[in-house]
Structure 1
């Protein structure tokens, strides 16, 4: 049987707008309105999951999705960098940031490495995410990056080369070992849908 998985990135937050590591802030009011008017194709019998962050839960709610929290879909734990601006951390710890961006196994912030995040997300993908039928999940951008890298067989070093804009859908269709990928589909309101 074929699986169809749609991963939706969360709406924009003040932290994201200021290039700050997530600090648990809420999505912006205008983003909630945009999400509320978006068309989310979801079969009534499909599975719906959400990352446990505030921004993912609020986005799922604004999209009208009754989602089950999945701890495995948590964003990257950046330890002591949480809530700080990337520019500020880069000025204070340039070598640590450079190592973190270049080495998937590095965690100079005291949190989780990209390698650890990818391993966690792939375990979820292989046991839950890629089950037969339809799955929709509102997840952190780094979760989308991890799944894209996994299904394409990309090296871990490619992780930071995948951009995941707010309120976009990344769709996977197929089954284990054979996936088709549609990236960056912007969620739109039904009246904006052009039928593409």
Structure 2
């Protein structure tokens, strides 16, 4: 049986993230030329390139190829009325309820439970699709995918940090696994005589 390799890449940072706000459908902030050069050839072909429907995901996907296919299951968690809002200025009782209860959606959007179920269903559909999939998506989606693979309770959702442009490697070969990789070129100490 051939394995499924899923590389989840978090979109680049956005202006609203830098301001401590919930994302809306905004563009990313980055040095495109420098990023494209540093990411060029990161993943060898053949692979399927997928991205979430939001602008920030589609722009980030362009760093990995021009042939990204939009996958709705990769869309960001819907925070309803909180889109674009500064997190520190939200009503603390509502924010606290949302953080404490994964089934709540005081913003009128999607609950964490609903998000995790959506991502889990999509990942189950990938189990019969061998090959390498590179998917550009959002921190919430990547958190949900890690919970699914590790079979963690949803209460662990907010204990997973996902940085912009980070890559999370997941593999399926009869069972899902989280794969931690190193870039040996970066981690190998330099010889003093050979800089």
Query: Shorter-normalised TM-score: what interval?
Result: 0.7 to 0.9
Measured in 2, the distance between the counterparts of 1:195 and 1:44 equals 25
Matches of 1:96 and 1:130 in 2, distance apart?
40
Scaled by the length of structure 1, the TM-score of the pair is: 0.86
Question: Which secondary structure does the structure 2 equivalent of 1:15 belong to?
Answer: helix
Aligned-pair Cα RMSD in Å:
2.2
Give, in angstroms, the shift of residue 65 of structure 1: 4.5
Matches within 5 A, 1:55-74: 55-74=56-75
CA distance in 1, matches of 2:122, 2:75: 11
Give 1:131's aligned residue: 129
Q: How does 1:21-60 map to 2 (within 5 A)?
A: 21-30=22-31, 32-39=32-39, 40-60=41-61
Q: How many pairs align?
A: 186
Q: Which protein has the larger Cα radius of gyration, Structure 1 or Structure 2?
A: 2
- Structure 1 residues 154 and 178: CA distance shift in structure 2, 3 A: same
Provide closer, same or farther for how the CA distance between residues 63 and 157 of structure 1 changes in structure 2, counting only shifts above 3 A.
same
| Shift in CA distance, 180/80, structure 1 to aligned 2, threshold 3 Å | closer
Q: In the alignment, does 2:172 pair up with 1:180? A: no
Structure 1 residue 23, shift from structure 2 partner: 1.6
Deviation at 1:56, TM superposition (A): 0.5
> Structure 2 length normalisation: TM-score?
0.87
- Pick closer, same or farther for the CA change 1:170–1:70 going to 2, 3 Å: same
Partner residue, 1:153: 151
Kindly provide the CA deviation profile for residues 28-66 of structure 1, in whole angstroms up to 9, marking residues without a partner as x: 142x33431233533423211101111100011133352
Greater shift, 111-120 or 130-139, is seen at 130-139
User: Structure 1: 5+ residue runs without aligned partners?
Assistant: 187-191
Counterpart of 1:105 (choices 103, 109, 127) is 103
- Structure 1 residue 26: deviation in Å? 0.8
> Within 2, Cα distance between the matches of 1:61 and 1:193?
25
- What secondary structure does 1:6 align onto? strand
Distance 1:69 1:151 in 2: 23
Distance 1:43 1:108, change over 3 A: same
Using the alignment, how far apart are the partners of 1:62 and 1:180 within structure 2?
A: 24
Give 5+ residue unaligned stretches, structure 2. Answer: 189-195
2:80 aligned residue: 79
Q: CA deviation at 1:102?
A: 1.0
Offset from partner CA, 1:151-173 (integer Å, 9 cap, x none): 00100011111000001100012
Give the whole-Å Cα distance in 2 for the aligned partners of 1:8 and 1:34: 17
